Amino acid sequence: MGNLRSVSQAVQHVAAGSGVHAIVTSRPEVVRAAERVVLPGQGAMPDCMRELRESGLLESVLEAAASKPLFGVCVGMQMLLDRSQEGPTGGLGLIHGEVVRFQLEGQRQPDGSRYKVPQMGWNRVQQAQRHPMWEGVPDESWFYFVHSFYAMPSDPRHSVGESEYGVRFTCAVGRDNIFATQFHPEKAQTRASRSIATSSTGHPDGSRVAAPSRIPPLFPCS
């Protein structure tokens, strides 16, 4: 999985001294044993979903989503939805909605330059809904994006973070014990990124955080 190293390092950094252990794994039993699960991903959503199925990780991820905190990053967020314009492969269906591509051909940014797809760079994030994961994170914080597709949840209450890039789009989704971001919180060495990472891991002594590893290391994110 393309961003496994940076995500696991970020979790270990914020959890230092707390007894939390971050484990990168391709074993379903490790995911089942973890108290929290981080689902990162880079590349194409259909490829990532195929790897989850072929590796046997799919059921363990669905079980985790039903019973413990699940945090998705980048394509890990996109996989939570029902489907994507990127291909016929369905998603996990944990957040109802569709993943769609930026349609910015011919549009120009305020400085006169053309919008480029994928979006690559820093952008502000507006907190659209209250969610425990936003605790300690200032509204309008800057985060790093690399993506051509974005989520469109069917229920607007599941759109908990938004940004603008030629169009206003959902960049964070959440419900109950599930939270996910299109942006990369691990790239921002800021209070905001540490708050999100800390909230996703929690700090109980001996807690285990698992990140499934059987997703192709492709770049950039879709």
Structure tokens at 206: 């001996």
Active-site annotation holds for 48: no
Contact yes or no for 36/42 (Cβ under 8 A)? no
| Mean pLDDT of all residues in 7-11 | 64
Give CA–CA dist 177/65, Å, rounded: 7
3-class secondary structure, 53: helix
Out of 48, 51, 171, 186, the active site residue is 186
| 131 in catalytic set | no
Side chain identity at residue 43, one-letter code: G
| 94-122 average pLDDT score | 96
Active-site option among 86, 171, 184, 221: 184
Residues 6+ apart with CB under 8 A from 127: 134, 137, 139, 160, 161
> Domain locations in the chain?
4-102+116-212
Are residues 49 and 90 in contact, defined by beta-carbon separation less than 8 angstroms? yes
The pLDDT tens digits of the residues spanning 143-161 come to 999 999 999 999 999 999 9
Is residue 186 flagged as an active site residue? yes
Where is pLDDT greater, at 220 or 202? 202
- Which among 48, 74, 171, 221 is annotated as catalytic? 74
Residue 205 confidence (pLDDT) above 50 = no
Fold of 4-102+116-212: Rossmann fold (3.40.50)
Query: Per-residue DSSP letters for 159-208?
Result: EEEEEESSSEEEEEEEETTEEEESSBGGG--SHHHHHHHHHHH---TT-E
Helix (H, G, I), strand (E, B) or coil at 141: strand
Q: pTM, whole model, 2 decimals? A: 0.84
